[in-house]
Structure 1
Amino acid sequence: TYKYLNAGAGCLGSIFVHSSHATDYELYPRLSGWWGVPFDTRFAMAPDAALTPGASGFGCSNVNPLMVACLQQSLLVLQEAGGVAATRRKSLLLTGYLELLLHTCGLTAPPAAAAARRCSVAIVTPTAPRWRGCQLSLRVQPAEAGAAPPSMRELERLLRERGISTDAREPDIVRISPAPLFNSFDDVRRFIAALTACLTELA
């Protein structure tokens, strides 16, 4: 729910349990509670009550209804976007477009001697789309060998001033995620223009 349904700290989570483990109670210690007991015997409160077969048997307690309401809204947004397959397809296109522009706009190439920009970026995220989500991690590297990279916090601040929200990691990584439920291809172009301007300003 965190990465794909916009959940935050303390929100509901879920876990997949293969059906081959659903009734194996001896293989590993498992969390279990009264919510995993069949409804018709749940309130008997028997100390050795049998659990419901399948995923329902892993329920520990009743869930927070406010958190369920939030999750429902996220699921509606996902449904309106066409579902998981359509969202993943857009994600692949957005991130591929971001990667393409980083290369074609020259941001991944060392700056020319006469260029105002003194830094380039290297994509450190796997290039194969199946091995990544929508995020690209960019290593900011100065043109001069041995020179220190600019402050990532300062880069993050400059991008924020241009309406771009990123995530910086010192000493040299900035992470950008064109989220398919919210971002457009124009947003990706705006980011490239903003990043170019910021790297020039930091020179």
Structure 2
Amino acid sequence: MNHIGKAMLEQKDETMKAKLERIAQQQNLKVTDAEFAEFLDSVDELSHFRKMFKYPKMSDLPKVDLNLVDAESDAIYLCGNSLGLQPKDVQEYISEELDKWAKMYARGVHGHTNGKMPWAKCDEFVLDTNASLVGAKKCEIAVMNSLTINLHLLMYAVHSQVRFHGFDPEECVVVLQPRQNEHCLRTEDILDYISQNGQSIALVLFSGVQYYTGQYFDIPSITACGKAQGCIVGWDLAHAAGNVPLNLHEWKVDFAAWCSYKYLNSGCGGLSIVFIHENNFDSYPPALWGWWGHEAESRMEMTNEMKFPHDCSAYRISHPPALLVCPMIASLKIYEKTSMQMLRQKSKLLTAYLEYLVNYYFGKMSTVLKNPIYCEVITPQDPEQRGCQLSLKFSANFSDVYDQLQKRGVVCDMRFPDVLRITPVHIYNSFNDVRRFTESLIDSFEQLSSGEQQ
């Protein structure tokens, strides 16, 4: 077990704030000391993974002010919730397949069945690790398409599907809302609604981690409640896969889908993955058929009679794109060197460290900076109800804050109407990244409060 893991397991009943203060005190430091970030990085046994990614420099960023930063220093990249960094091995994997396509020794079309990664089976090379990351059996997942297409195939893009079948989304789709003056849904409210209305609900569909607030929903409890009422229960795991621990098979989730370009670092437009519980293989055959969903052994016989394999691969529509599999392989090989348990331990401490510094310097009740601008964390305080991301609201115009951060080399993103999403990712971000972000936000607030927009 690594040092961070040991620190997390000591005194389990501690709040994350108390845990950080205890660790700092043991080193004769304060949580706000720069040396504390350096210490945490020095004992982080996952820190070497950062070197396996291409980390952008300040000079790479389009809106950075080079008068404010060192051009050759690392950017402050806290946007893995939107686009994960590129693994360094991606180019090698892609080049190998391009080379196989181009050169005579591969005999062109024979690349489908030859080489280290035959194109016709390229998606099979990423099934094991993808299944492990989400707690699924290999037979329960398939790598295909993009996320929204897969949600259509699994019955989503809900409003579109409801209209397509001749119904009014205003009448047929229920969107739960938080209580007044709250930002996140309460688990008890979700369970109460399903329990009281489940007999009239066909499909329960939630995001595993909510994109705007960063709330990590109680997937097993919501799934069990929905299924007890006879509902189909599905999950959009775009912001959950690779971010938080998942156990889809054990939780008896009916179906799920997620993308690979966020925490799975497979590049913009990267392949999506679908999960269908093995209990549903007979009950819910594919609604739309594609030739690649035919069993492999007799696919090329072209009998015009569909023969599905008894697994999730039956949902595949067409040939997997080998060049999009390559970035996924490069990323998953990094994940194979650790575990979601270790990543989660670091993530809890890393995000708590961000939360501590944000509240210390920028909280509404903070008097440290004596700056009229403040911010609020709308992501749940409970570390069990969040992943890597913290969502921040500001008393100043959030787009002005965003502009100032960009000038200082911070890469995050903003979501309307009024949130900045700050996401230190466990597999490549450091505690020093969080400290540097805090310093940049201090400078940004000072600039904004002075009224001198550069």
| Contact map agreement 1:110 1:119 (CA 8 A) in 2 | no
AA aligned opposite 1:32: W
1:125 aligns with 2:382: no
Structure 1: how far apart are the matches of 2:372 and 2:265? 36
1:87 aligns with 2:343: yes
For 2:12, the equivalent position in structure 1 comes to: none
| Contact map agreement 1:118 1:200 (CA 8 A) in 2 | no
| Contact map agreement 2:412 2:422 (CA 8 A) in 1 | yes
- Extract unaligned runs of 5+ from structure 1: 142-148
Q: Give the secondary structure class of the aligned counterpart of 1:122.
A: strand
Under a length normalisation based on structure 2, what TM-score does the superposition of the two structures give? 0.39
Structure (1/2) with the larger helix percentage: 2
AA aligned opposite 1:108: G
Structure 2: how far apart are the matches of 1:44 and 1:167? 50
AA aligned opposite 2:265: N
Cα deviation code 1:39-72 (max 9, x no counterpart):
2211122333220001222222211100001110
Structure 2: how far apart are the matches of 1:46 and 1:110? 72
CA deviation after TM superposition for structure 1 residue 181, in Å: 1.9
Count of matched residue pairs? 190
CA deviation after TM superposition for structure 1 residue 112, in Å: 4.5
| Contact map agreement 2:391 2:420 (CA 8 A) in 1 | yes
For 1:6, the equivalent position in structure 2 comes to: 265
1:137 aligns with 2:391: yes
| Contact map agreement 2:361 2:369 (CA 8 A) in 1 | no
For 2:281, the equivalent position in structure 1 comes to: 22
Structure 1: how far apart are the matches of 2:266 and 2:297? 33
AA aligned opposite 1:15: V
CA deviation after TM superposition for structure 1 residue 25, in Å: 4.3
CA deviation after TM superposition for structure 1 residue 8, in Å: 4.0
For 1:146, the equivalent position in structure 2 comes to: none
Alignment CA distance shift 1:175-1:37 (3 Å) = same
Structure 1: how far apart are the matches of 2:429 and 2:369? 34
Structure 2: how far apart are the matches of 1:181 and 1:160? 23
Alignment CA distance shift 1:192-1:169 (3 Å) = same
Structure 1: how far apart are the matches of 2:416 and 2:275? 34
1:96 aligns with 2:378: no
Name the stretch that deviates more: 154-163 or 174-183. Answer: 154-163
For 2:362, the equivalent position in structure 1 comes to: 107
For 2:400, the equivalent position in structure 1 comes to: 154
AA aligned opposite 1:37: H
For 1:197, the equivalent position in structure 2 comes to: 443
Q: What percent identity do the matched residue pairs reach?
A: 34
- After TM superposition, the structure 1 = structure 2 runs for residues 63-82 of structure 1, keeping only pairs within 5 Å, are 63-80=320-337, 82=338
Alignment CA distance shift 1:79-1:161 (3 Å) = farther
CA deviation after TM superposition for structure 1 residue 121, in Å: 0.8
Which of 410, 419, 432 in structure 2 is aligned with 1:173? 419
Structure 1: how far apart are the matches of 2:305 and 2:374? 63
CA deviation after TM superposition for structure 1 residue 38, in Å: 1.7
Cα deviation code 1:70-127 (max 9, x no counterpart):
11011122234x1333222222221111112222x23113464992x21111101122
Q: Higher relative contact order at CA 8 Å, sep ≥6: structure 1 or structure 2? A: 2
Alignment CA distance shift 1:113-1:125 (3 Å) = closer
1:182 aligns with 2:428: yes
Structure 2: how far apart are the matches of 1:114 and 1:91? 27
- Extract unaligned runs of 5+ from structure 2: 1-259, 450-454
Q: What's the Cα RMSD here?
A: 2.2
CA deviation after TM superposition for structure 1 residue 7, in Å: 3.4
Q: Give the secondary structure class of the aligned counterpart of 2:391.
A: strand
